[in-house]
Amino acid sequence: MTERTMNLGRCLAIDTSTSAMTVAILENGAMLGEVSSHAERNHSIGLLPHIQDLLASLHLKPKDLQSVAVGQGPGSYTGVRIAVSVAKTFAWSLGLDLIGVSSLEAMALGGAMKEQSATGNGPTWVVPLMDGRRKQAFTAVYAYEGASPMTANGELEASWQEVLPDGIRVIGSWTEQIVKQAASSSQGQRPQELLFVGETEGFMAELEQFARDWDGVVRVLSYGIEAEYIGRLAYPRLAKGEKADVHTFVPNYTRLPEAEANLLAGIKTKKGDH
C-alpha cells in the first residue's frame, strides 16, 4: 500500500477475454484474493458464482466494494461482452467507480512478473499474444527496464510503457514489424530481451524462427490472464481520478465479429451454410 492508493478502497477486478475466467479483489492496491478457471464456454454462467464465492471467502459483500475494473479486451467477443456487462451492472447498481483496462496489457504485465528479466540490464519488450485464429493474434508490445516491471510494494515501475498499441496482426508480418521497430529504436530504448507471453502454443513455429533470427534473448511463456493485474493496472488510474461512464462504456473488440462484418458488407448467410 502506498500514499497514492491508500484511500481507494476495495476494487473488484475481472477478465473473461480468453479461456481464462479470472476474478480478484484488491484493497488499496494490495491483493486480498483471486479465483481463476479455464472454461471459455461457461463464462456466462460461471462469472457471477466466481465473484460470489470470492466475496464470501473474504467475508465481504458487494456493498463493501468501491470500484470495479474490467478487462475491456481485445479478445473473445463473447467473453469480453460478458465481463463488461457484469462490470457495468455492478458499477450501476452499487454506485461503484468503473474503469476499463487493456486485457493485453494485463496479460503482458502478469506474464512479465512470472518470467522476469534474466539480466536486469536494459529494456525488456513484452509481447502478449491472444489467438485470433488463421495465424492472427491480438497483440501489442510493452516495455520496462530493470529486473521487474513492478516495485517491491506492488506498484508499476515508472519505466513501464506501451511501445506498439493493441491490435490484431498476422503473426508472420507482426514479428517482422517488431524487428523493424527494435532496429529503429534509439540505443537506450533498444530491447535486450523479448518475452512473448499468453496463448503462444499456436504460434510456436513462428516464434522459434524469430528466436533464431533475433540477436538478443528471446523467451516464450504460455500464460493465462490473472485478474490481479487488471486491478494493479487500474489503481494508478483510479488514483488520478479516472473512471468510465457506465452508460457509454463498451468493449474494445479491435475488429468486428464476423457476423456483424458480413452484415455490414451485405453478405447474407443462410441456415446450413458454412
Q: Give the 3-state secondary structure of residue 151.
A: coil
Of 184-188, 195-199, 245-249, minimum mean pLDDT range: 184-188
Q: Full-prediction pTM beyond 0.85? A: yes
Of 2-16, 64-78, 230-244, minimum mean pLDDT range: 2-16
pLDDT given at position 115: 86
Residue 274, pLDDT above cutoff 70: no
Work out the mean pLDDT of the chain and round it to a whole number: 89
DSSP string covering 79-129: HHHHHHHHHHHHHHHHT-EEEEE-HHHHHHHHHHHHS--SS--SEEEEEEE
pLDDT band at 188 (very low <50, low <70, confident <90, very high): confident
Quick one: DSSP state of residue 222? E
126-154 pLDDT, tens digit each? 999 999 988 999 999 999 998 899 998 88
Q: Report the chain's terminal Cα–Cα distance, integer Å.
A: 54
Q: Are the beta carbons of 89 and 83 closer than 8 angstroms?
A: no
Of 59-68, 70-79, 130-139, 256-265, minimum mean pLDDT range: 256-265
pLDDT given at position 215: 85
Beta-ladder partners of 98: 68
- Cell 476495495, residue? 10
> What is the pLDDT averaged over residues 56-81?
96
Give me the count of residues in the chain.
Answer: 274
pLDDT given at position 43: 85
pLDDT band at 186 (very low <50, low <70, confident <90, very high): confident
In the chain the domains, ranked by start, together with CATH numbers, are: 10-103+226-254 (3.30.420.40), 115-222 (3.30.420.40)
pLDDT given at position 272: 43
25-67 pLDDT, tens digit each? 999 999 999 999 987 667 888 899 999 999 999 999 999 999 9
pLDDT band at 260 (very low <50, low <70, confident <90, very high): very low
H/E run at residue 247: none
Amino acid at 94: L
Q: How far apart are the C-alpha atoms of 113 and 74, rounded to whole Å?
A: 21
Alpha helices, DSSP H, located in 17-76: 43-57
Q: Give the 3-state secondary structure of residue 219.
A: strand
- Cell 493474434, residue? 137
H/E run at residue 78: helix 77-94
Residue 108, pLDDT above cutoff 90: yes
Of 16-20, 112-116, 219-223, 259-263, minimum mean pLDDT range: 259-263
Q: How far apart are the C-alpha atoms of 238 and 242, rounded to whole Å?
A: 5
